């Protein structure tokens, strides 16, 4: 199996179609090609942060300044961002789209990654709407409807991209 170039392309074009123009990122292993595409995209601002929680702040500031942000990270970063998402984004009603590679599931050999055991319960506990994407074919609709929901309801929305999306034979 290898990382899917088609998935990277699909996510990139869905983000553009959704109007995303400001990307905040802490690099993760499963989204290498996507990060490369986003960095090279001249229509997208791209900021690398030192911690995902910091990224929540930058993305939120970008929203306040009229941009359409996406925070791209590994699912473990959601734990690092939990309080910021619940205090800043949810209470102050600042929408941001979060694209997260969903680590720790069946088929992930990273033994230290408890991602799937804690991520969804965590997001539910802090009140962040989220969607698990299991099939590459779902990407476009997932991104467009998540961004629409974020903007309309004024909430952060997290898309959790499974191994089956980001990897292919």
Partner 1 sequence: MKRFDALKVLSQMLREELVVTSIAGVSAELFHVCDRDLNYYGNHCMGLASSVGLGLALALPGRRVIVLDGDGSLLMNLGSLATIANENPPNLIEIVFDNECYESPGLWPTATAGPTDLAAIGKGAGIKNSLTVGTLEKFHETLSKALAADELYLIVAKVEKGLAPVPPMTIDVTENTYRLLRALVQRGLIEEWRERDKRKEMGNKDS
Which residues bind to partner 1, rule: CB under 8 A?
22, 24, 45, 47-51, 53-67, 69, 83-84, 87-88, 91-94, 144, 148, 151-152
Q: How far is the CB of 72 from partner 1 (least distance, A)?
A: 15
Query: Shortest Cβ distance from residue 73 to partner 1 (Å)?
Result: 14
Q: How far apart are CA 40 and CA 58, in angstroms?
A: 20
Q: Cβ 120 to partner 1, closest distance in Å?
A: 23
**Cβ nearer to partner 1, comparing 128 with 162:** 128
How remote is the C-alpha of 104 from its chain's centroid? Answer: 16
- Complex with partner 1: residue 114 or 151, whichever CB lies closer: 151
The region, left, alpha or beta by phi > 0 then psi within -120 to 50, assigned to residue 45 is: beta
Closer of 55 and 105 to partner 1 (Cβ): 55
Q: DSSP class of residue 87?
A: I
* CB of 57 or CB of 79, closer to partner 1: 57
Shortest distance (Å) from residue 56 CB to partner 1: 7
DSSP category for residue 31: G
In Å, what is the CA distance from 10 to each residue of 4, 5, 7, 51, 142?
Answer: 10, 9, 5, 26, 11
């Amino acid at each position: 199996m290898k990382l899917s170039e088609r998935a990277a392309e699909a996510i990139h074009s869905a983000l553009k179609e959704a109007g995303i123009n400001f990307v905040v990122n802490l690099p993760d292993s499963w989204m290498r090609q996507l990060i490369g595409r986003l960095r090279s995209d001249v229509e997208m601002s791209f900021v690398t942060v030192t911690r995902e929680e910091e990224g929540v702040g930058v993305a939120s500031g970008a929203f306040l300044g009229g941009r359409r942000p996406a925070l791209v990270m590994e699912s473990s970063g959601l734990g690092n961002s939990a309080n910021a998402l619940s205090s800043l984004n949810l209470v102050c009603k600042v929408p941001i789209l979060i694209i997260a590679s969903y680590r720790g599931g069946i088929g992930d050999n990273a033994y230290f990654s408890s991602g799937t055991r804690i991520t969804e319960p965590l997001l539910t506990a802090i009140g962040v709407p989220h969607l698990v994407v299991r099939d590459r074919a779902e990407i476009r609709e997932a991104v467009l409807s998540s961004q629409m929901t974020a903007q309309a309801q004024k909430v952060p929305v997290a898309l959790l991209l499974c191994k089956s999306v980001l990897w292919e034979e």
